[in-house]
Amino acid sequence: MEKNSLQWFKDRVGEKVYRTKSQCNCMVCYNVFMNGLYIADDLHANYLFDCQNELDLYYFDEKPKENDANRRNI
């Protein structure tokens, strides 16, 4: 599975995205995994791009279905 480009994140400013589960089990990370998050602006898009690469996360336009999540181990 390929990582998203910075432009992918910038194109979604103002939209909700979903991500894979992270190693962190805090309530913020859990909430983002379960409910997604809105990309606020270009600075936020840059931050999420960096998080994706540093924390080995994958972001999606739609929440993966349970079967997809199991198959992808997310």
What would the pLDDT profile of 23-39 be if each residue is shown by its tens digit? 888 999 899 999 999 99
Measured in degrees and rounded to the nearest 5, phi and psi for residue 13 equal -55, 130
Q: How would you classify residue 3: left for phi > 0, otherwise alpha for psi between -120 and 50, otherwise beta?
A: beta
Question: In a structure prediction context, what are the per-residue pLDDT tens digits for the chain, which is 74 residues long?
Answer: 889 999 999 999 999 999 988 888 899 989 999 999 999 999 999 999 999 999 999 999 999 775 454 444 44
Tokens of 33: 């995994």
pTM value?
0.81
> In this predicted structure, what is the pLDDT of residue 66?
59
Where in the chain are the domains?
6-65
